[in-house]
Amino acid sequence: MKNAFENILDRIKNIHFIGIGGSGMCPIAEILHQKGYKITGSDNYVSDTLQRLIAQGLKVYTEHNAKNIENAELVVYSAAIKEDNEERLAALKKGIPCIERSVMLGLLCAKYKNAIAIAGTHGKTTTTAMITQILTMSKKDPSAIIGGKLPFINGNSRVGKSATIICEACEYVDSFLQITPSIAVVTNIEEDHLDYFKNLENIIKSFNKFVLKATNTIFVNGDDKNSILALKDVQVPIVTFGMSQNNNYYAENISERDMAFPSFSLMKDGQKLIDINLSIPGIYNVYNALAASAVAHYLDVSIDEIKNALHDFTGVHRRFEILGRQNGITVADDFAHHPTEIKSVLTAATKMGFKRVIAVFQPHTYSRTADFFDDFAKVLSIADITVLSEILAVREVNKYNIKSEDLAAKISSCICLRTFEEIADCIKKIAKPGDLVLTMGGGNVYVCANLIVDKLKKK
């Protein structure tokens, strides 16, 4: 079935973005701006990304108003923008086409000969960022859209002059099905977003639809049974990566150096290619590095360039990001919001030489908290002390009748507080020299992390 908006980018020049400051919207707007489109946008929240767009000369409004879309030929809105938004309503009244952000991402990717889309329940942001850094350092000059800020490019987007674009592909509400990638990457598949998918079977079916859209090659985690199940009826070549020797690309001689930074031998089909030393913690990042290495090697990046780029890779914003060290106390922040991610991050944290790990967790959505209740209790108990904030509702109402206090009752050494201010004051009292304070969650818990750093300065 043809996209109703196919080739619309060849017919228009004026595009308006509602919610332009969002992490998913901003990079698309930046790339289109660099390609010569006249971009305007609106957002109620003045963020760093919004300021960056303004600095580039884009016309950005700091409130939603029907007048903002007057010159638009196409309106793009983020998933957070509801149907009753006055700019959407004004566009509808004027007959201006309106599309959701994922549709625009698909249209943009279609403008590139080589579209590399990275999907998966976990690791897709880091893998996307790794591939971007490798291809950029090796002079492949890609464009990129990443779900988090990559320090190497000082942002979450890059505008290159080559025919290659690298993008993170999110499965929620089947968004990634808007993309037709030449190369599809699947890092892993697990139960998540059950408010939409309902069960694992439906998630696997969705990923199967995604990989079937790949026109060239599929790179998949061969150790992950769910990812393998998603390969049903695939007709293009498949390249596997993982820890097992059954994969095309795999890791041997895995070890963890100081601060739990992994090292491993990169192998391909039984032959050693090179030794890799990562500068980010956690064995789970070996999988991300394997996926990135496999894609880069396939794209004719030299082994030495892969090694050097991965060693220089220091992570992505909100992926075990060190925010400060005050009075011997280290504060870090991570996007982990699923039990598997939390387990991986906390396990890595316990190996980094800190006296204690204090986890500050903001549960993300009522549905996820209810669906994985026992799993959350188990993995959060890895920390020496856990502090819980209120559950972040996001798009939901609490039909599950669940609250953070319910979860706290199941976690050893757990404190439950309502506000970030209360949490920061608590951390100031209980944290000692040699401790790691690690904030985690898919919402705005990073605000709490920065507040903790500020209060520790005054300790």
pLDDT of 23-54, one tens digit each?
889 999 999 999 999 999 999 877 777 888 88
Domains and CATH numbers, the chain: 12-100 (3.40.50.720), 112-312 (3.40.1190.10), 321-457 (3.90.190.20)
pLDDT over 90 at 332, yes or no: yes
Among the residue ranges 235-249, 257-271, 425-439, the one predicted with the least confidence is 257-271
pLDDT at 80: 82
pLDDT at 260: 86
pLDDT at 399: 94
pLDDT at 52: 84
| Mean pLDDT over the full length of the chain | 94
pLDDT of 225-258, one tens digit each?
999 999 999 999 999 999 999 999 999 999 998 7
> What DSSP letter does each residue of 10-55 carry, written as one string?
GT--EEEEETTTSTTTHHHHHHHHHTT-EEEEE-SS--HHHHHHHH
Q: Exposed/middle/buried for 11, CB within 10 Å: 0-12, 13-18, 19+?
A: exposed
pLDDT at 3: 64
pLDDT at 2: 46
The predicted model gives 62-68 an average pLDDT of 94
pLDDT at 1: 36
Which one-letter DSSP state was computed for residue 260? Answer: G
The separation between CA 411 and the C-alpha centre of its own chain, rounded to angstroms, equals: 27
Q: Name the strand (E) or helix (H) holding 255.
A: strand 249-256
Residues in the chain: 459
What is the distance between the alpha carbons of residues 58 and 38, in angstroms, rounded to a whole number?
A: 8
Catalytic residue set: 124-125, 168
* pTM of the full structure: 0.91
Smallest Cα–Cα separation from 284: which of 256, 312, 265? 256
Long-range pairs, 251-258, Cβ under 8 A, ≥24 = 251/286, 251/290, 254/283, 254/286, 256/283, 256/351, 258/353
DSSP bridge partners of 276: 264
Among the residue ranges 3-7, 201-205, 384-388, the one predicted with the least confidence is 3-7
